[in-house]
Structure 1
Amino acid sequence: MAVKGPKVCLYKCRIGEEGFRALASALRSNPSHMRELQLSENKAGDSGVKHLSSLLEDPNCKLEKLHLDGCSIGEEGFRALASALRSNPSHMRELQLSHNKAGDSGVKHLSSLLEDPNCTLEKLHLDNCSIEEEGFRALASALRSNPSHMRELQLSYNKAGDSGVKHLSSLLQDPNCTLEKLRLDSCSIGDEGFRALASALRSNPSHMRELQLSWNGAGDSGVKHLSSLLENPNCKLEKLDLMYCSITDEGFRALASALRSNPSALRELLLYGNQPGPSAQQLFSELKTHPNCKHLQIYGL
């Protein structure tokens, strides 16, 4: 999504509460032109974000893209942001809030925005926000009630576990869900989580383009579930990241078989940090010349 119009970039400028107060006050006096505000890696805290929220709830505010990664925002800041955007939800398209202290409570406040039928958010980044199963449940429930706008969801380095991923899978199988990019690196996902993801995407395979699942406990059995998705002729996945997922020869054989059987849309497969033996190395060497895989770039072998 290209944002057209003025933007302000104040990344990593040591701005604290008073700076956020001044910025919000200035923009409230002339709110209708600003489209993009990049304020990541500053010292906003909840108080600073509350000042910014007073801008966001102004009906004349047309901001489309807001970056607040790494701004020490906790539950109260998430509550203020969600409340402000619920009162003026139709313009915001991208919200980046990674590396904050949301926790499940903060994410539940944000979920109340996502389920608003007037919310048209397309990209949401919540990497490393201390989200556990209850937060994943709240996000999935909210997006199921309003699923058609979200295109990119980043949730890496949270504590989803298999249970959290099962909640998310209930969203992915919804035929109205048109999510294209999903990032779940290092989310403590095991065999059951991979099974749930693969099953959900097999039932609604045509939208997902990028799936990042590195640093999880897939193992060979988890990768076998995912291979059943790749052999689906309706699967349009273009990038798959499975780095450091404890995959050995058995899992590599399943992946190779799936990719040989289907003229895949896959263009990029990342496999660094796994344990392929000589037989897997040979299989993937042959795979590179297979007619169904002529556009596929394989990294890590």
Structure 2
Amino acid sequence: MCYCISSVSRFLQSPAADVYQYLTSVLHTNLLLERELNLSERKLDLKTVNQLAALLQDKHCKFNKLQLCGCGLAEQSCSALATVLRSNSSLKELDMSNNNLQDSGVKKLKSGLENTDCTLEKLRLSNCSISEEGYKALASALRSNPSHLIELDLRGNDPGPSGVKQLNDLLLDPNCQLETLRFLSPEAENACKYVPGLLGKDPLHVRELNLSEHKLKDMHMKYLAALLQDKHCKLSTIQLFKCSITEKQCRILTSALKSNPSHLRELDLSVSQIKNTGVNHLCDVLKDPHFKLERLRLRCCEMTDEGCSAVTSALKSNPSHLKELDLSENKLGDSGVKNLSDLLMNPQCKLEKLEISGCEMTDEGCSAVTSALKSNPSHLRELDLSVNQIKNTGVNHLCDVLKDPHFKLERLRLRCCEMTDEGCSAVTSALKSNPSHLKELNLSGNELGQLGVTNLRDLLMNRQCKLEILNLCGCSITEKQCLILTSALKSNPSHLRELDLSVNQIKNTGVNHLCDVLKDPHFKLERLRLRCCEMTDEGCSAVTSALKSNPSHLKELNLSGNELGQLGVTNLRDLLMNR
């Protein structure tokens, strides 16, 4: 063997002869007779790589495939291999995967790839710590020399915002011969085969994934997690509403988000069984300053005050990005809401929308929320406290912040809060002193009474009032009180777009009052709901007649639960036929 090595090495010049002797003794084969050289998982220092480059450039060497996976290669190793690519060698396939080449190494390699003497056909650079600049360098090289490379593997790298586009744009070049461009891991690619909502789609271009109301198995979640972990995945929105996500699946999902946290902006896990345990897993990623989530919906997730405390604690350590939080229909209680209030008080908290309806909150919890809002009033635009027992006492606390000119709330929902006319009157009175921002008010399911309706009238008549949506369903409004409301709308008709007076005893008389404003061409109502208002065909006829004289704006009309009769149906038909 020694004689054979010595004899063959006479054909080679040093340092090619040196590395030939070393490799032949290690691999026990005559390298000059081989077409493939596999040195994967053997640590190669720079001296050895330089010698290897010399061997590959020797005219006696005919290797067409070189595998250097996991060899500890770095930037300078790429310089040596670039000289091989420039030398018109026989090399057609090069695998440098699992080396810490980084962008600087790829830029060195670029000088070889862009040379017209380079005839490399397959290049594998998976898991090489390459980022956007490296992708740009590869794209630039292939634009200069597009005619040979047919396969490029970049799995396990981070393309940044434009890396994928830089290379995909090359495919439009008629001179480009690339047939296979790999970005995603096999596990991530499986997501496109098995996860509903991704079937047949290119996940590199998917930014929003809506799997709502799909029953997801653990297998689906694992495939989705693999996709989320891949740095090439740029999903910004994931909607898993009514997917019955379990605690285990929540753990799988959040583990993936922890490894690739920077892109997601919206996450909806509503109506699931993640419970406190799942929420605790989620909190691990919520704390991460690289996780810039803006919208989080956890409605009806079987959470208690413990889970709420974990969420708010996590968000307190990373508060500046979240704009929307929905914790409705969880058993937060006053203790959970008090923890939430600590987050709201944080001056870095920029929350714009807060939904905590149906959370078993009382006036005590409402007091904590409003106290927090008073200390940090400037960001919140939407607040939903519906279906809580806050009663008049809680509402009175809320009114303190509603009066604040720095509090620019646009949407307020207080449906079914066990308020009486006293509470409703307090709300409308507070809004009168700060009326210009509110666009939506929902007081449904509360007893407005005469005092509440009168104060609401004063608010609606205020020229600064820009209310667009008014929901007063089930407020025990009478015919007389309907007259009070419609008189206000007649004096300030131009803003309201949606009105719900359903489940009130306004009857035909009240409806006739309403018709006076429906006829007004300045009244541009788009949605009118009069369900179960004890109307007969007379009232229905009045409504449709009024709308016929001002028909162009209305998009939705609900007259369900009333006795329309033949006359009402006929008039309704005439309205529908009106072009």
Structure 1 unaligned segments of length 5 or more: list them: none
| Equivalent in the alignment of 1:98 | 328
Please report how far the alpha carbon of residue 75 of structure 1 lies from its aligned counterpart in structure 2 after TM superposition.
0.7
Please report how far the alpha carbon of residue 292 of structure 1 lies from its aligned counterpart in structure 2 after TM superposition.
5.1
Whole-Å separation in 2 of the counterparts to 1:224 and 1:125: 28
Name the amino acid aligned to 1:21.
Answer: R
Deviations 1:122-164 (A, max 9, x none): 1111111111101111111111111111111111111111111
Please, which of 456, 476, 481 is the counterpart of residue 226 of structure 1? 456
| Equivalent in the alignment of 2:280 | 50
What SS is found at the alignment partner of 1:153? strand
| Equivalent in the alignment of 1:22 | 252
| Equivalent in the alignment of 1:41 | 271
| Equivalent in the alignment of 2:310 | 80
Name the amino acid aligned to 1:209.
Answer: K
What SS is found at the alignment partner of 1:37? strand
Deviations 1:187-227 (A, max 9, x none): 11111111111111100000000011111111233211111
Whole-Å separation in 1 of the counterparts to 2:285 and 2:526: 46
What SS is found at the alignment partner of 2:452? helix
Please report how far the alpha carbon of residue 291 of structure 1 lies from its aligned counterpart in structure 2 after TM superposition.
5.3
| Equivalent in the alignment of 2:374 | 144
User: Residues 71-220 of structure 1: matches in 2 within 5 Å?
Assistant: 71-220=301-450
Deviations 1:223-275 (A, max 9, x none): 11111100111101011000110011221121122122234422222111111
| TM-score when normalising by structure 1 | 0.94
What SS is found at the alignment partner of 1:108? helix
| Equivalent in the alignment of 1:242 | 472
Taking a change above 3 Å as real, the CA distance of residues 176 and 5 of structure 1, as seen in their structure-2 partners, is farther
Deviations 1:30-72 (A, max 9, x none): 1111111111111111111111111101111111111111101
Whole-Å separation in 2 of the counterparts to 1:268 and 1:211: 10
| Equivalent in the alignment of 2:499 | 269
What RMSD in Å do the two structures reach over aligned CA positions?
Answer: 1.7
Whole-Å separation in 1 of the counterparts to 2:300 and 2:529: 30
Please, which of 255, 264, 282 is the counterpart of residue 512 of structure 2? 282
What SS is found at the alignment partner of 2:336? helix
Structure 2 unaligned segments of length 5 or more: list them: 1-207, 209-233, 534-579
Please report how far the alpha carbon of residue 20 of structure 1 lies from its aligned counterpart in structure 2 after TM superposition.
1.8
| TM-score when normalising by structure 2 | 0.50
Contact 1:218 1:247 (C-alpha < 8 Å) held by counterparts: yes
Please report how far the alpha carbon of residue 290 of structure 1 lies from its aligned counterpart in structure 2 after TM superposition.
3.3
Whole-Å separation in 1 of the counterparts to 2:333 and 2:259: 33
Please report how far the alpha carbon of residue 11 of structure 1 lies from its aligned counterpart in structure 2 after TM superposition.
2.3
**What count of residue pairs does the alignment treat as equivalent?**
299
Please report how far the alpha carbon of residue 293 of structure 1 lies from its aligned counterpart in structure 2 after TM superposition.
3.0
Please report how far the alpha carbon of residue 5 of structure 1 lies from its aligned counterpart in structure 2 after TM superposition.
5.5
Contact 1:260 1:292 (C-alpha < 8 Å) held by counterparts: no
Whole-Å separation in 2 of the counterparts to 1:263 and 1:250: 20
What SS is found at the alignment partner of 1:293? coil
Contact 1:220 1:250 (C-alpha < 8 Å) held by counterparts: no
Contact 1:89 1:119 (C-alpha < 8 Å) held by counterparts: yes
Whole-Å separation in 1 of the counterparts to 2:305 and 2:526: 43
Whole-Å separation in 1 of the counterparts to 2:358 and 2:520: 39
What SS is found at the alignment partner of 1:129? coil
Identity level (%): 50
Farther off after superposition, 74-83 or 285-294: 285-294
Contact 2:337 2:361 (C-alpha < 8 Å) held by counterparts: yes
2:486 equivalent to 1:256? yes
Larger Rg: 2
